[in-house]
C-alpha cells in the first residue's frame, strides 16, 4: 500500500493495489451465488464472483464498519449532550460518469451491505428521479444538457436527503423511467428510516450550487467515485448503446424507438458517438471528473470494468 500522489507530491489518499485490497476480504465468505449475481449485472458489465469476492466484499465490510461506528458516535454524542439519541441513516454517495458502472456497484453494495448483521436495512435511490421532466427541460431550453447539474431539481434533491438524514420516515423520491426517458408522473418510491441509504448519480459530489450554502455531499457519511480512463468509458458507452439498440430500443414505448425506424444501426451508432462527444464527455470533464477528489474512496477501473486499484482517503 502506498500514498497516491498528485503533481505536488502530496495526496490525501492511500493507494491500495488490487491484490492487497483482495486480501482484506479473505476472512469473510462470499454471500452471493452466480444466479443472484445475474440480477446485478448492467449492460456490458463482466462482473463475476471473483470480482465480487476480491473487490466488493471487502468494500461492503468496510462500509458496514463505518456505518456501525458512525451510529455509535452519534449515540455517544447525544448522551453527552443529554439528548435522546435519534436514529439517523448512514448515507453513501456514489458518483461517476455515465456507463462507468455506478448502478451495478450501487445494486451490488446494497445487497452485500444488508447481509451484514449491523446494516440489515439498506435502501437505494438514484438521482435520475430528481431530473426535471422532459417538458420542463424543453421549456428551459436545456434538453440537450440532460444529466448536467442544472438539469436536476437540486433544491428538491437536497430536501429529500436532508429529511432522510434527520431520521424522518416515509420520505418520497420521484421515479424515473429509462424506457420513456422521463419522470413517471405521480409515481414515487418511499424510503422508510433505513440503516443505510445509497444515493447514486452523476453529480452527487458537486459543491453547493449558486445561492445555496449546503451541498448534497454535506449529508453524506461516505462517498465513492467510480473512475476509469475516458477511452474505456467511451467504449463502454457505445457498447451499451449497441446492446440497447437490439433490446430496449425495439420496444415501441422506448423514447429512442424512433431511431430504429428512421436510422440504420450504423447511422444510429454515429448518432451515439455524437451523444458522447457533445453531451456526455463535456459533462464528465466539466462537472463530474472535477468532483473525484471530494470522494472518500476512489475505485479505479481498467478494461472490462475490472477494478485495478482503490484509493482510500486517509483517516
Please tell me the pTM assigned to this model.
Answer: 0.92
Q: Whole domain around residue 96: which residue ranges?
A: 2-313
CA distance 176 to 33: 29
User: Per the structure block, which three cell numbers stand in for 54?
Assistant: 476480491
More confident residue, 184 or 46: 184
pLDDT per position as a tens digit, 290-301: 999 999 999 999
Number of domains in the chain: 1
Query: What mean pLDDT is reported for the chain?
Result: 90
Q: What is the pLDDT of residue 85?
A: 52
Cell 439528548 locates to 83
CA angle 250–256–259, rounded 5-degree value: 80
Q: What is the pLDDT of residue 112?
A: 93
CATH number of the domain to which 113 belongs:
3.40.50.300
pLDDT per position as a tens digit, 13-32: 999 999 999 988 776 776 77
Task: Label residue 60 left, alpha or beta by phi (over 0 means left) and psi (-120 to 50 means alpha).
Answer: alpha
pLDDT tier, 4 (very low <50, low <70, confident <90, very high otherwise): low
Residues 298, 302, 307, 311: is their CA dihedral positive or negative? negative
pLDDT per position as a tens digit, 226-244: 999 999 999 999 999 999 9
Q: Judge whether 85 and 78 are in contact, CB under 8 Å.
A: yes
* Percent of the chain whose pLDDT exceeds 70: 93
Cell 428538491 locates to 156
Looking only at the bridges linking them, the beta strands covering 171-177 and 307-313 are unpaired
CA distance 58 to 64: 10
Amino acid at each position: 500500500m502506498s500514498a497516491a500522489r498528485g503533481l505536488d507530491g502530496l495526496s490525501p489518499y492511500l493507494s491500495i493495489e488490487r491484490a492487497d485490497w483482495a486480501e482484506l476480504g479473505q476472512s469473510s465468505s462470499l454471500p452471493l451465488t452466480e444466479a443472484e449475481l445475474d440480477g446485478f449485472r448492467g449492460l456490458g458489465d463482466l462482473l463475476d464472483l471473483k470480482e465480487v469476492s476480491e473487490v466488493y466484499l471487502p468494500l461492503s465490510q468496510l462500509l458496514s464498519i463505518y456505518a456501525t461506528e458512525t451510529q455509535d458516535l452519534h449515540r455517544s454524542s447525544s448522551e453527552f449532550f443529554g439528548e435522546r439519541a435519534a436514529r439517523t441513516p448512514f448515507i453513501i454517495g456514489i458518483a461517476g460518469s455515465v456507463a462507468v458502472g455506478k448502478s451495478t456497484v450501487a445494486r451490488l453494495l446494497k445487497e452485500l451491505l444488508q447481509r451484514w448483521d449491523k446494516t440489515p436495512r439498506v435502501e437505494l435511490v438514484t438521482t435520475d428521479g430528481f431530473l426535471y421532466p422532459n417538458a420542463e427541460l424543453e421549456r428551459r431550453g436545456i434538453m440537450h444538457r440532460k444529466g448536467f447539474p442544472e438539469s436536476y431539481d437540486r433544491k428538491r434533491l437536497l430536501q429529500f436527503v436532508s429529511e432522510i438524514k434527520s431520521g424522518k420516515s416515509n420520505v418520497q423520491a420521484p421515479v424515473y423511467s429509462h424506457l420513456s426517458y422521463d419522470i413517471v408522473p405521480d409515481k414515487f418510491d418511499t424510503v422508510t428510516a433505513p440503516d443505510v441509504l445509497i444515493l447514486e448519480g452523476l453529480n452527487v459530489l458537486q459543491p453547493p450550487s449558486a445561492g445555496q450554502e449546503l451541498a448534497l455531499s454535506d449529508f453524506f457519511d461516505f462517498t465513492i467515485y467510480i473512475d476509469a480512463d475516458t477511452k474505456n468509458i467511451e467504449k463502454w458507452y457505445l457498447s451499451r448503446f449497441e446492446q440497447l439498440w437490439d433490446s430496449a430500443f425495439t420496444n415501441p414505448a422506448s423514447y429512442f424507438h424512433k431511431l430504429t425506424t428512421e436510422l440504420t444501426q450504423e447511422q444510429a451508432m454515429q448518432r451515439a458517438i455524437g451523444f458522447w462527444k457533445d453531451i456526455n464527455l463535456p459533462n464528465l470533464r466539466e462537472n463530474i471528473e472535477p468532483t473525484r477528489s471530494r470522494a472518500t474512496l476512489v475505485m479505479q477501473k481498467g478494461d472490462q470494468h475490472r477494478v485495478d486499484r482503490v484509493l482510500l482517503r486517509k483517516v
